[in-house]
Structure 1
Amino acid sequence: MAVGKENTEVAAAVPMDKGGEILKPRTDKREYRRIVLKNSLQVLLISDPETDKCAASMNVSVGSFSDPEGLDGLAHFLEHMLFYASEKYPEEDSYSKYITEHGGSTNAYTSTEDTNYHFDINTDSFDEALDSLYAGEADWTMEYSFFDVSVNLTDAGHEHMQDIIGLLFRHIKLLQESGVSQWIFDELSAISEAEFHYQAKIDPISYVVDISSNMTIYPTKHWLVGSSLPSKFNPAIVQKILNELSPTNVRIFWKSNNFEGQTDKVEPWYTTSYSFENITELTIQEWVKSAPDVNLILPTPNVFIPTDFSLKDVKNKETFPVLLRKTPFSRLWYKPDTKFFKPKAYVNIDFNCPLAFTSPEAAVLSNTFVWLLVDYLNEYAYYAQTAGLDYGLSISDNGFELYLVGFNHKLRILLEAVMQKIAKFEVKPDRFSVVKETMTKAYQNYKFQQPYQQALSYCSLVLQDNTWPWTEELDALSHLEAEDLASYVPMLLSRTFVECYIAGNVEKNEAESMVKYIEDVLFSGSKPISRPLFPSQFLTSRVVELGKGMRYFYHQEGSNPSDENSSLVHYIQVHQDEFAMNSKLQLLSLIAKQTTFHQLRTVEQLGYITSLSRSLKAGVYGVQFIIQSSVKGPGHIDSRVESLLKDLESKIYKISDEEFKVRWPN
């Protein structure tokens, strides 16, 4: 399938009816046309006058499930070979090179049942790139699907696996016996309708990948819809699916390092130790009977489902965010929607807390505070997320941040709920223990990260202010108790400045009212939770300035002795955040990216993971090469990067004005 400014002319194609054949969102201004090639391959053409790129995706209904016995990985291997060379385009990497030189990118993926190839490119170069990707259609399909339930277990949960499985099937039985409720279907329909008709416009390459995947599964009318809209209320079908969720159809995967030494088989490729045994229906029924007596309930009506999709009447068409409000407690940046015209909004609240990262212990305590907040909000926020209103809490450079995004109608309700959790935060010892255990395992798993991930972490550790080694944070975490966190959080919040950005379908007075509410929660009363920052506490995040012409080398042993890979992060600090310089660096990265990939991965075969990207650390931009290799050490890899940089410099100087305008017309 293809998207671009104009419908692409495809040879030997049979045009199909353009009117009313494909169901599309009410707010979608794009035009769609289905054609069928002589080889019966179906193609969807999309005309989008607003896009700055063309894109195409071809989905083949063959994935790793179709690998022949003894040829595991064949589908994934063939995925890579298509971009490498072909009979029509035999030159090594000529396809990828052409795409990159004309402002585009290529990618592909292999899943269990599909292989998907896709690219985007400047409009005037689309036809040749599409010709390179052309292939026939295979009609292999899989006629089954899976319904998965995943449960992350604590150490205590590991000891109660049978109880957990028993409770799961007890809840399934509750659903089966309660029948299919019309009101639940109506709620899901309302949510699905809203999400489909007011969906955000995504970049062309992501859009064509989504649709091409749908084209192998759904009838033409529902290529854009996929599974997002329920057709009609049919309780018999739903009940039939519910009844399929039975002990006779279940496969249970129980993973834990507690099984070390207790398994009798080894998977040949990754040498994973495992065992399997048959579990009878009678056994699971016994687990159901012996499970704890807890009150299982059905969901309640969802208060977050939006019903008001009206668009605000924006008086001032602001091109950039404006500083709408400033007080000693907060600052509000505001940008009304003047482009997308969707009943949605985005709110970002950055809580600047100077005490958040003053030591490894403070960093861990701040992190634990945020993890517990998310834990406390899980059940409540689930309803919001189901209704198309998402939120997130995370650690930021200067404290912690909250974002809310989605339909604006009920967004204020969720904001107030989160702020009340922050204001009335208390440490529940049982939940603290669970979160501490989860965080401990996350820290311990750092040692098993791939070498390139570890190298990136060390790069940040060396350059950025107030960052600490994971080993020190793990040590601090091991000594923390619930009482430590209870004492710390009031200190963390005692001095705070709130930086706010509100954009979308929100009027000025609504944005100001939200920030005023946040101020009232934190700063009002005779004993406020927070007080304004002292002037000296208004510090920005900092990175170490690398002197011009200076070279620094930081070497660290990999923490996983069983991983034979080495990795290099070659970081070049360039400039502070500035519009013109940002554009130049982006262009340089675009020019250098394909050459880097081709030379270091394809020609020299240093490693599978080979990339060049821009890096932003505390407002300072840089360029970083990331290479992971099992055949060469970091020293050799670094010498090859240096050689590549010299070649790049020579090539860039040789680019004429005419060639530059052809390759990068915009």
Structure 2
Amino acid sequence: MATAQPSLPAALPRKAGELRNQLTSLIWPRKPDIDERSYCYFRLATNDLRVLLVRDPEADRAAASMSVGIGHLQDPDDRAGLAHFCEHMCFLGSEKYPDEGAYHEHIARHGGHANAFTSLEETNYAFEIGPEQLLDTLDRFAQCFLHPRFHEAAVGREVQAVDAEYRMNRQSDVHRLFQLLKALADPAHPFHKFGTGSQETLLGSDAASRESNEADLVMQQQKLREMLQRFHRQYYGADLMCLCVSFTASQTMEQMQSTIQELFGRVPRALDATPAIAYADKPLFRPDSGPQGQLLVVEPVKALREMRLMFAIPPQRCQYRSKPANCLAHLLGHEARGSLLAALKERGWATALSAGPAHEITGQAFFEVEIALTERGLHHWQCVLSMLNAYLAMVSAALGDADDPCDLPRFIYEELKTLGEIHFRYQERESSPFQAVVELSSALRLYAPDDVLAGPYLYFDRPTKQDLCNLLLIHMRPEKAITFLISKEMYQQPEDFELNSSVLRHGHEPWYDTNYVMGPLPSSAWQKRGTWNAELHLPLPNPFLPRCFTLKTPAEDDQANLAASKPLQPRCLLWDEDQGQILHHCLDTSFRQPRIQAFFQLYTDMAYASPEHALLTKLAICLIEDDLMPSAYDAELAGMSYTITPTAYGVLIGLCGFSDSFARFTEHVFCTAACAIRQVDEGSAAARELLLDAHLDRLRRAYENMALQKPYQQVLYHARVLLQVPHWHAHWDYLPLLDDQPSDKGRRFPWERVDAFRRSFFAGELASPADSSREMVVEALIHGNVTRREAETLFQRCMAILKPCKTPASGSLRAFQRRLGGHQLRIPSKLSPLALWVPLRNAAELNCGLGCYFQTGLRTLESDLFLELVVNLLQKPLFHELRTVQQLGYVVSGFVYRLHGAQGLFVVIQSAERHPPWQVAQRLERFLCDFTTAELKALSPAAFMPFLKAMLEKREERDRNLAERGARWWTEIERGTYTYDRMQQEAQYLRRVLDRAGSLELVQADAVSNTGFAQFLTRLQQFWDLDVLGRRQGGSLRVYAVPTCWAESADTSEQHPGGMAAMREQLCGLEEPALQTLVAEAVAIRAWQTRADRYPSERERDEEPALLLESENNS
């Protein structure tokens, strides 16, 4: 089908010589051998724009990203957040495309997406689109850098959007701690600035107040717009920009070079081409009153217990070829025996540790060490510091002085170099072209053009001893550390943790309302004596380092089977009803990767039969991960990974890695999971009890923190709690068990009980003769660089360890799996909308959340496509109207919500206190009515075409890597449908609809092959009217997440629906149209669930799955 080409600014150069004169010399960056993409780097001679083109013959999508070398460090002193505000405004119209929504509507109409972010010294804009629309979209993209409109009408709205984003994150500990670090910097250094911005910082406190008059507000908005225009002219220059464009085989490299020159060649240079020079050599902290050598005890929002040490170090970007800070991070962050973390865990003081360079800006960087402490570790925080100091001293001793011949063992450098080369050579494709261009456009300003692909991975040079010694002996000394202890209990009672409150002064960070105390850290805290020196040593050689990367070929008797299974998809090698074992396999080397991926789903009711069983399962997994930690970390460095995840129907074990060591590591994981722990002495037994206590404490705090999540997250969580059965709740089910104190009968979860459960679960051992044997079915997928015989051998070895079994009384394998499967509950249409009130437990949270869910019934091929098309049509106008125009909140999103074979439309909105969620719900209802008449029913067939084409292109996209393909296949196996060609079936449906788009006569037959386009539109509108809004296949749900402070009155109880309703009517006088109202509490929810009907799961459908069995192929 022919498509009109975009109107470009000028005719493209026709002569190669003419184009060469407009570009600098071309550079072809080093790339992995298996990477089929072509890369070309050049600069535009007209304006010095740096460009990296990526021609991807395997891609089905195109993308582009522009990295602008300015961030919020360039904000004017009196306009905090201006760079972020510019990011919001820049793409709201240009001179050539003046409409505010032209850019985003164009991308949405063609099934693409766009995003942007602002950081310390970078602002990045990116989009992804179908290849046919790339040139047109690039033109629109370029115009926003050339001639942005900065519409006056948008200024006020986008200030509100920035302010809503800031207020949404005020209760985020990540944002609070980062801003606190910045607040410690010298106020004369731009690192001190508040980067997000707010209504107050952008418009001024007087104009931002509610008492300000309209004239003052308009004047401040005009002033802000003028500052924005000056900011853009000063910094948005081509010589501060890096552009990356990824395109398909439909264009040549020469054509794209010409296009870039025409579209971006007239972007002017920046008025200030060196924005960082003013602070490049400026000290980050005041030498006389800086925070180095100080201790800060911070009060978090969530129940955190963390130690963070920040060392100011020289910038590391210029040393990317040798990576000395990464080398130290490798040593400090190691988790094998002899490591700092292993010694901390042995004493029950910590559960996790990470280390590495962070927050680098021009002239300055940090080396961060973050330790997740246990309650016991918090009380021994000085010993933790001393252990860290002992490890740093050990590394320093190994290096010796500058003139000393001592050095780290040679194999450490060789392993780092080898691992870097392996990961570069066999790096998997990014999940999307969008991700690729964002990463590469940012990388262009960090690495030399030759090294832009290899720079993050390779050790081109060995880290010099002098560089390592300088980091350790000059910059990472105890007196240079900024030490953060993040804990509510320590902040509230510092004396209980060996802190002298008389020398601590209280502080308050105003932007995020963060409280802390600060004082000098006594030098003795780094010098505690202990037995740990003998335990600490440098890492040993890695036993999992892969050596062989040969790609497997099928055996002769498998050649015909492989050819018969085109397109590539798994085959069922084993379906054993008696033993309860199912194995699917696919030899897949299409990505030229010597990797294997495997999933093992262990179906058993032991995992989720009760909240206590669910906690035992989680704790058993914790024990396994503890035992695996020393070896698993080495395996992870060598490209292996594993996960053990509890599910509602058992446990999922996932593994991925290089085929050379995959089988050995997989068996090691299963053996470790199943083996009985060897006899241990009293000291080791005590250490295990301490570690188990740490896991119990970590789980307890995690469940407590779930009540402190953002309102929109609370909406999604409680919607799932209400609709999914079974589903245990963090506060109703888990916390009462974890808060249960030890009694005369002993602890609820002693180590012996957890370990016995672990051995029963993963090895089939009985804790006592009175126990009944456990039933378990295992279904697995093994695919990648693995032959059929290798997969069968590995599977049988793992099953010999796991010992799955199923009794005849359980019925068939399918029946066993059905019994354990979850369901989505059906909301009665006569009682819709059902209202669920969720009181927010965070007293400081003033935002609220709304979730509206419209059930559309069971999933079918057609309903899946109809629902996705409706969401695609809805998303842009929903966002524009409710967020951009009405300013109801920062989070406004509509999406397809699928759960256990049923689905629907879900809209989630997080709003500020001035917009109560029931008011937002009414506005959403009005919008949906307007959308029905003004948008959906008014759309012409031609207007539908781009959306349908975009959906077709999405389904015709090829898998980008082995993990993506495996996840798609495993989803079908987990659902029990085994429809591996689902994308092809949906693409065929859409292709037939598009083929008939020109024929608008109605036909009588229902078959899709005879469906006229007009009938398709009619059926789509019926789906919207009857299934989405009309509740033909289900009901609707409203979830209100409301701050508890709204319900605090003498005659109102937050624990009673009537009280919440009274509170609502008192606040705004609106009547709730809900026919049934629930409050998120166990009794009410469970009572409703017992009366509700269930949708059948996909395993309960009448039809049996079409399995491609090995025996069928052989026959």
Same fold (TM over 0.5): yes
Cα distance in 2 for partners of 1:459, 1:425 equals 40
- 1:366-409 CA-to-partner distances (Å, cap 9, x unmatched) read 22222332233222211111111111111123111111112221
Tell me if structure 1 keeps the 8 A contact 2:383–2:526: no
Residue 512 to residue 645, structure 1, CA distance change in 2 (3 Å): farther
Counterpart of 1:445 in structure 2 is 705
Counterpart of 1:36 in structure 2 is 43
Cα distance in 1 for partners of 2:901, 2:865 equals 15
Q: Secondary structure at the match of 2:855?
A: strand
Matches within 5 A, 1:519-534: 519-523=799-803, 534=810
Cα distance in 2 for partners of 1:648, 1:634 equals 20
Is it true that 1:389 corresponds to 2:645 in the alignment? Answer: no
**Aligned mate of 1:354, from 605, 609, 614:** 605
Is it true that 1:54 corresponds to 2:315 in the alignment? Answer: no
Quick one: which amino acid aligns to residue 513 of structure 1? T
Matches within 5 A, 1:81-92: 81-86=89-94, 89-92=97-100
**Aligned mate of 1:498, from 778, 801, 809:** 778
Matches within 5 A, 1:60-139: 60-86=68-94, 89-134=97-142, 135=145, 136-137=237-238, 138=240, 139=274
Cα distance in 2 for partners of 1:86, 1:379 equals 56
Is it true that 1:300 corresponds to 2:540 in the alignment? Answer: yes
Cα distance in 2 for partners of 1:87, 1:379 equals 60
Quick one: which amino acid aligns to residue 639 of structure 2? G
Matches within 5 A, 1:586-625: 586-625=868-907
Counterpart of 1:526 in structure 2 is none
Q: Secondary structure at the match of 1:96?
A: helix
Matches within 5 A, 1:404-423: 404-423=655-674
Residue 579 to residue 302, structure 1, CA distance change in 2 (3 Å): farther
Tell me if structure 2 keeps the 8 A contact 1:107–1:119: yes
Q: TM-score, normalised by structure 1?
A: 0.91
Counterpart of 1:246 in structure 2 is 477
Residue 370 to residue 648, structure 1, CA distance change in 2 (3 Å): farther
Cα distance in 1 for partners of 2:697, 2:691 equals 10
**Aligned mate of 1:457, from 717, 726, 741:** 717
Aligned residues: 651
Counterpart of 1:5 in structure 2 is none
Counterpart of 1:642 in structure 2 is 925
Counterpart of 2:749 in structure 1 is 481
Q: Secondary structure at the match of 1:252?
A: strand
Tell me if structure 2 keeps the 8 A contact 1:166–1:291: no
Tell me if structure 1 keeps the 8 A contact 2:586–2:782: yes
In the TM superposition, residue 357 of structure 1 has moved relative to its aligned partner by 1.7
Matches within 5 A, 1:202-601: 202=430, 203-236=432-465, 237-243=467-473, 244-261=475-492, 264-279=506-521, 282-283=523-524, 286-287=527-528, 292-314=532-554, 315=559, 316-317=562-563, 318=565, 319-327=568-576, 328-337=579-588, 339-424=590-675, 428-471=688-731, 472-479=733-740, 480-482=748-750, 483-489=752-758, 492=761, 494-523=774-803, 534-535=810-811, 537-538=816-817, 539=819, 540-547=821-828, 550-601=832-883
Cα distance in 1 for partners of 2:761, 2:823 equals 20
Residue 389 to residue 512, structure 1, CA distance change in 2 (3 Å): same
Cα distance in 2 for partners of 1:654, 1:45 equals 41
Cα distance in 1 for partners of 2:620, 2:584 equals 27
Counterpart of 1:143 in structure 2 is 363
In the TM superposition, residue 70 of structure 1 has moved relative to its aligned partner by 4.9
Quick one: which amino acid aligns to residue 838 of structure 2? Q
Cα distance in 2 for partners of 1:363, 1:186 equals 44
Q: Secondary structure at the match of 2:937?
A: helix
* 302-311 vs 270-279, which moves further: 270-279
- 1:38-90 CA-to-partner distances (Å, cap 9, x unmatched) read 22110111111221211111112323444444543333332222234455544
Counterpart of 2:426 in structure 1 is 198
Residue 655 to residue 345, structure 1, CA distance change in 2 (3 Å): farther
Counterpart of 2:172 in structure 1 is none
Residue 491 to residue 389, structure 1, CA distance change in 2 (3 Å): closer
Residue 558 to residue 131, structure 1, CA distance change in 2 (3 Å): same
**Aligned mate of 1:160, from 380, 391, 400:** 380
In the TM superposition, residue 560 of structure 1 has moved relative to its aligned partner by 1.8
Quick one: which amino acid aligns to residue 545 of structure 2? I
Cα RMSD over matched residues? 2.6
**Aligned mate of 1:660, from 931, 944, 950:** 944
Cα distance in 2 for partners of 1:628, 1:116 equals 25
Cα distance in 2 for partners of 1:621, 1:23 equals 46
In the TM superposition, residue 240 of structure 1 has moved relative to its aligned partner by 3.8
Tell me if structure 2 keeps the 8 A contact 1:423–1:522: yes
Which has more radius of gyration? 2
Cα distance in 1 for partners of 2:81, 2:517 equals 23
Counterpart of 1:4 in structure 2 is none
Residue 623 to residue 98, structure 1, CA distance change in 2 (3 Å): same
In the TM superposition, residue 279 of structure 1 has moved relative to its aligned partner by 4.0
* 73-82 vs 512-521, which moves further: 73-82
Tell me if structure 2 keeps the 8 A contact 1:611–1:625: yes
Tell me if structure 2 keeps the 8 A contact 1:154–1:438: yes
In the TM superposition, residue 290 of structure 1 has moved relative to its aligned partner by 6.2
Q: TM-score, normalised by structure 2?
A: 0.56
Cα distance in 2 for partners of 1:216, 1:133 equals 20
Q: Secondary structure at the match of 1:364?
A: helix
Residue 23 to residue 323, structure 1, CA distance change in 2 (3 Å): same
Name stretches of at least 5 consecutive residues in structure 2 with no aligned partner: 1-7, 14-18, 146-236, 241-273, 277-361, 399-406, 495-504, 678-684, 741-747, 763-773, 954-1115
Quick one: which amino acid aligns to residue 498 of structure 1? V
- 1:322-361 CA-to-partner distances (Å, cap 9, x unmatched) read 2121223221122332532211121111111113222222
Counterpart of 2:395 in structure 1 is 175
Cα distance in 2 for partners of 1:285, 1:485 equals 36
Cα distance in 2 for partners of 1:145, 1:212 equals 21
Quick one: which amino acid aligns to residue 919 of structure 2? H
Quick one: which amino acid aligns to residue 749 of structure 2? E
Q: Percent identity of the aligned residues?
A: 28
Cα distance in 1 for partners of 2:446, 2:440 equals 10
Cα distance in 2 for partners of 1:68, 1:163 equals 44
- 1:142-200 CA-to-partner distances (Å, cap 9, x unmatched) read 12222211100111111122211221121122122222332112112221111111111
Tell me if structure 2 keeps the 8 A contact 1:182–1:233: no
Q: Secondary structure at the match of 1:626?
A: strand
Name stretches of at least 5 consecutive residues in structure 1 with no aligned partner: 1-7, 524-528
Tell me if structure 2 keeps the 8 A contact 1:16–1:33: no
Tell me if structure 2 keeps the 8 A contact 1:612–1:624: yes
